[in-house]
Amino acid sequence: MVVNPVIPGFHPDPSVCQVGDDYYLACSSFEYYPGVPIFHSRDLTAWTQIANALDRPSQLRLVTAPSSGGIYAPTLRHHDGLFLLMTTNVSDRGHFIVTARDPAGPWSDPIVVDGLPGVDPDLAWDETGTCWCTYATFGAEAGTIMQVPIDPLRGKILDAPRPLWSGTGLAAPEAPHLYRIDGNWFLLIAEGGTARGHAVSVARAPAATGPFQGCPANPVLSHRSTSSPIQNTGHADLVRGPDGSWQMLLLGVRPRGVTPGYHVLGRETFLTPVRWVDGWPQPAPVSPGGPAAGVRERDHFDGTTLGPQWLSIRHRPPHAYSLDARPSWLTLHAGAGSLDDPLPTFAGRRQQHTTCRVRVRMDPGSGCGGLAVRLDEHHHYRIEATADNVRCLARIGPLAQPVATCPVDADGPIVLGIDIVPGPASDAVGTPPDVVRLGVEEEDGRFTPLAELDGRYLSTEVAGGYTGRVIGVYAAEGAVAFDWYEYTGTSD
């Protein structure tokens, strides 16, 4: 039984592979740069991010990607001593493969698979050594899982794609993963759409090419129409645990507040055990378990590069981000865009707890910048400082509004803060999932909120899309510097 999200906060579409005693996990990253976080574990529950597979411009082009565009649904596999990761940049070059001997990198430049439509590509090798790419379709072929043999190291399609299975008739069959287990081939897919109807279904065949027959108990996992605090369960991958048991990693969300329920952390990765019944995998419902452990992390920016958990929006030009200009400070140089635009100067980390606190010590100098909680260009709250004042701003859809302003008394660095706390206990329709407080922290540690804003407007149910919140620092004008960034996530 899992006791909390295995990879909390906006780490969806998990794909896992085992190499000896080690497990490696890859997830979607959408419009954020660098892309495709890579995690390592020995027990499938405690994970450490060790890299991003796509960490340089030659691998990742996102400048034209809309919010929730970009990188979708990687598959991570290990074959003949090589790690292969296949994913899709839906906003640029389509399907491609990168490879590495060490999952911590470096990863190769992309091997583009030309002429292959769709999303959610999977890689599997049969007994003859043939590599099968199985993928989900849209457009004229929508509703069918397709398959084609490929040469993964050259990106070449070796035959015409063919239909494999169309699921049980639910909407949007996608996220295929193919396995050979005890002499049979199993095709695991998601269907029902990625919202409340999301589900996991499975089919079985004597060969990798089929013919596939659906499990009589399909969908084998779904939380639709239940009162579970975890919803939207789907997009799963199978793996054996350290004790030899079968386990399933999959995505889910944790809605808060009253109908329709608002999830703000995006889609998270969960773990659930699998037993076999009459030759079919039967995953247990995903349990919320006990409270997640709290965490407190402070980054003093004393390295030569930002850690792999730091994200920028669509790109990270070196001239705009410096750890050298002022030792042990992160200096940001504003570009042409603000947070309302596609290419701001921004460095942030995913919100991973429903209740959290973020503090930054900032020197605005002669510039302007601050701290923001972002869902996309059209949905974010921020607190920003100049040498003269601090102000809070809210962007909700087409509306952008200053909500508070106060003068700056100190000459020099200032501590800006965001507290995200539970919403009011109420059964009223539209009760928000949480409240976002923006404010300033005094030298004695006392926090003075300047604005309290409704968290529902930074949720997927209001803003749409596939991502959760990212909380980070930004430059709006000139150059600004940050001494440290501290994230405290308390128990959920």
Residues with catalytic function: 13, 174
How far apart (Å, rounded) are the C-alpha atoms in residues 454 and 414? 25
301-328: b or e for each residue (b if 16 or more CB lie within 10 Å)?
beeeebebebbbbbbbeeebbbbeebee
The distance in angstroms from the start CA to the end CA of the chain is 17
Residue 287 DSSP label: P
Distance CA 182, CA 39 (A): 28
Listed in sequence order, the residues at least 6 apart from 39 whose beta carbon sits closer than 8 Å to its beta carbon are 7, 24, 25, 26, 27, 47, 48, 49, 50
Q: Which of 204, 94, 113 minimizes the C-alpha distance to 155?
A: 113
Q: Which amino acid is at 89?
A: N
Residue of 260, 243, 247, 259 lying closest to 221 (CA atoms):
247
DSSP 198-267: -EEEEEEESSTT---EE-TT-SSEE-TTS--S-EEEEEEEEEE-TTS-EEEEEEEE--BSSTT-B--S--
Q: Could you write out the DSSP letters of every residue in 91-154? A: TTTEEEEEEESSTTSPPPPPEE-TT--SEEEEEEE-TT--EEEEEE--GGGTT-EEEEEEETTT
Host H or E run for residue 82: strand 82-89
